[in-house]
Amino acid sequence: MFAGGVWASAQAPSGHADSPMVHDPVIACESGKYYLFSTGQRLFSLVSDDLHEWKSPSSVFKEVPQWAMDSVPGYKGHTWAPDIIFHNGRYHLFYSCSTFGKNTSAMGHASRSTLSTSSDEPWVDTGAVITSHPGDDYNAIDPNVVIDYDGKPWMTFGSFWGGIKMVRLKDDLSSVLDGENPVTLCTRLYTPADERPMPKENSVEAPFIMKHDGYYYLFVSYDYCCRGLKSTYKVVVGRSHNICGPYVGRDGRSMLKGGGSLLISDTPEHVAVGHCAVYDFDGRTVFIAHGYSREKNGESHLVVKDIRWSDDGWPEIDS
């Protein structure tokens, strides 16, 4: 077991305090403060009182978990796509260890009873939740953990390869429930092909599930990130009464056949908004993501927007 230090000093994410440079952001709220976690060396974190001004940049871990470097050749601590959830009295942090273009990957888990930057309590790292290797039809990155309406924990994850997967977790969230195998929630490659042309690659990743009014809503990012102003990311969403799907868009098309309703892509300030998370905070439904700044020549910056719900129960960006 690795007891990771917390809030280690780190090079600050640059950019303005109200638009920091981040990638793959997620947020948790504790005692009126918002804690943001994002991709970075040993994971970056920021703190805000209002979701607007961000401060206290830091790295989560003082050192990289040795198990991750042993498991993923080429991984040197630049840690991707975290997720954060409060469950059974602890904050559970999930993170991705991988290298570009390969599915030799692992998703780790650490927990702590508080997010406060003034506490010296360490993150207790329990190692890998799921790993993937060449030959697997999934890539073990981009975790998102959700507790279903019956109180059962699930992890959805995936990037390219066989698409977006889901597995049931044990109640302590540190490992997969015995006997569980991943099920597919979303793919853009399917057989037989129908009237909708398929992409050359299964360009879908970054799942996030939220509960709302009896439904589960699955948000994913289609197409490509990480190319600055040439990025093509877009967020689509589908919903289901069953956490394991099938998820469908507004038009009824299944996300198992590349479906989903477009939520956001380009804005006047950013191109390719994607890798989102969606939360209910103090009566607001808040959408967060990163987008590539037109003004800053394609730097990846934080995007925060409100979501409104349509009369028929679909999320829409409130402009």
Average pLDDT over residues 283-296: 97
Q: 251 in the Ramachandran plot: left (φ > 0), alpha (ψ -120 to 50) or beta?
A: alpha
Residue partners of 45: CB distance under 8 A and separation at least 6:
7, 35, 36, 37, 38, 56, 57, 58, 59, 60
What 3-state class would DSSP assign to 224?
Answer: coil
Residue 13 has pLDDT above 70, yes or no: no
Give the integer Cα–Cα distance in Å for 247 and 258.
10
pLDDT band at 178 (very low <50, low <70, confident <90, very high): very high
Do 254 and 266 meet the contact criterion of CB atoms below 8 Å apart? Answer: no
pLDDT of residue 177: 97
Give the integer Cα–Cα distance in Å for 204 and 181.
20
Is residue 223 part of the annotated active site? The answer reads no
| Residue whose C-alpha is closest to residue 97's, from 159, 12, 164 | 159
- Dmax (CA) of the chain: 57
Catalytic one of 83, 125, 142, 205: 205
Instruction: Read off the pLDDT of residues 231-244 as tens digits, 9 standing for 90 and up.
Output: 999 999 999 999 99
Domain locations along the chain: 2-317
Is residue 24 part of the annotated active site? The answer reads yes
Q: Domain 2-317 is in which class? A: mainly beta
Here the tokens at position 180 are 């569980």
Instruction: Read off the pLDDT of residues 83-94 as tens digits, 9 standing for 90 and up.
Output: 999 999 999 999
Residue partners of 134: CB distance under 8 A and separation at least 6:
102, 103, 104
Here the tokens at position 93 are 């942090």
Percent of the chain with pLDDT over 90: 85
Give the integer Cα–Cα distance in Å for 315 and 310.
6
Residue of higher predicted confidence among 136 and 191: 136
Average pLDDT over residues 160-184: 97
Give the integer Cα–Cα distance in Å for 123 and 141.
20
pLDDT of residue 199: 85
Average pLDDT, the chain: 93
pTM: 0.94
What 3-state class would DSSP assign to 269?
Answer: coil
Residue of higher predicted confidence among 271 and 62: 271
Least confident of 4-8, 50-54, 60-64, 105-109: 4-8
Residue 11 has pLDDT above 70, yes or no: no
Give the integer Cα–Cα distance in Å for 120 and 52.
26
Q: Work out whether the CA dihedral 7, 11, 13, 14 comes out positive or negative.
A: positive
Catalytic one of 24, 83, 125, 299: 24
